[in-house]
Amino acid sequence: MTEQTLRSSDWNGRNGHQWLLHQGRLDAMLAPFGSAAIAAGALMPDMQVLDIGCGAGDSTLAIAEQVGENGTALGIDISQALIGRARERAEATGSRARFDLSDAAQASFPAAMFDCLFSRFGVMFFDDPVAAFPHLRPTLKPDGQLLFACWRSAGDNDWVRLPMRAIAEIVSPTPPPPPHAPGPFSFGDPARITHILSAAGFGDIVITPFDHDILFGETVAAAVQRALDVGPLERALAGQPDTVRARAIMAVGNAFDARRTDRGVVINGAAWIVAARPVAH
């Protein structure tokens, strides 16, 4: 959940490390979105499912429960550390989920292998989605389905909107990433999603908004720290004098304090749930 342009190397560097550090809490935050995407596909026993950008395996483990002992739940990711954590979790729970260190945009799978191509906040990080989706489509069975959850715009999501609005009059804005650069909001525009998937040979494209509360921190201090660790806030404050940084962090704390509940700091997450099917040729 970092706003900067993300390339493959980032997930084997700081971003992968930060995700691993906060894995339990981040997975808990994102689980409702993954569950909504899984429910949209009505996954059944015996299905063969590829989980793209599986991270530490949370969604793959859930899929493995859906498809049962005769099904396949294969999670792939480019982060060696996250795949290592996913394998540890599968072994610890006795899950039949499998995990491979692989780039979905280049991985080689037999034609018509999968009933479902799934992703929970993974496909937005493709370096070249225009090439990645046509590469993946032939691996689907003719009656298979593509399912994924992706973030809507940064302006729709409190984990970016709240801290960045709070510091707007304290710190000069940082240049935005290039349009459509790999990152959490690269699929924020549903027209772009439709264009990419249609060009890749998918039809019956359904894009549904899905909003859900996110427990962003058990305390205001924890929410501020999470914003520094997994959002654009740290980049915006990099190189700022200590006095400016302190003012900005206080302002962010005040913004999160306004969202404090008995559970902690609760903010809104805004995603798309996308479903599509391969078009017969």
Each residue of 14-38: pLDDT tens digit? 666 677 777 888 899 999 999 999 9
Q: Is 277's pLDDT higher than 70?
A: yes
8 Å CB contact between 85 and 72 = no
Confidence of residue 112 (pLDDT cuts 50, 70, 90): very high
Look at residue 225 and tell me if it is in a domain.
Answer: no
CB atoms within 10 A of CB 171: 19
Which tens digits make up the pLDDT trace of 38-73?
999 889 999 999 999 999 999 999 999 999 999 999
Average pLDDT over residues 60-89: 95
Look at residue 242 and tell me if it is in a domain.
Answer: no
Look at residue 22 and tell me if it is in a domain.
Answer: yes
DSSP 73: E
Look at residue 188 and tell me if it is in a domain.
Answer: yes
pLDDT at 240: 93
pLDDT at 280: 82
Look at residue 159 and tell me if it is in a domain.
Answer: no
Average pLDDT over residues 254-268: 97
Confidence of residue 177 (pLDDT cuts 50, 70, 90): confident
Query: Into how many domains does the chain fold?
Result: 1
The values of phi and psi at residue 215, to 5°, are -80, 100
The values of phi and psi at residue 180, to 5°, are 65, 15
Reported pTM: 0.91
Confidence of residue 161 (pLDDT cuts 50, 70, 90): very high
Which tens digits make up the pLDDT trace of 186-237?
999 999 999 999 999 999 999 999 999 999 999 999 999 999 987 789 889 9
Look at residue 198 and tell me if it is in a domain.
Answer: yes
Instruction: Name, in order, each residue with C-beta under 8 angstroms of 97's C-beta and a sequence gap of 6 or more.
Output: 57, 60, 61, 63, 64, 73, 74, 75, 86, 90
Look at residue 263 and tell me if it is in a domain.
Answer: no
- Identify the CATH number of the domain in which residue 110 sits: 3.40.50.150
Q: What's the CA angle centered on 202, arms 55 and 193, to 5 degrees?
A: 60
Say which amino acid occupies 84. Answer: G
How far apart CA 32 and CA 213 sit, in angstroms, is: 9
pLDDT at 227: 92
The residue range of the domain holding 207 is: 8-154+179-213+270-278
Look at residue 183 and tell me if it is in a domain.
Answer: yes
Cα separations in angstroms, 9 against 18, 78, 103, 176, 195: 14, 9, 12, 20, 27
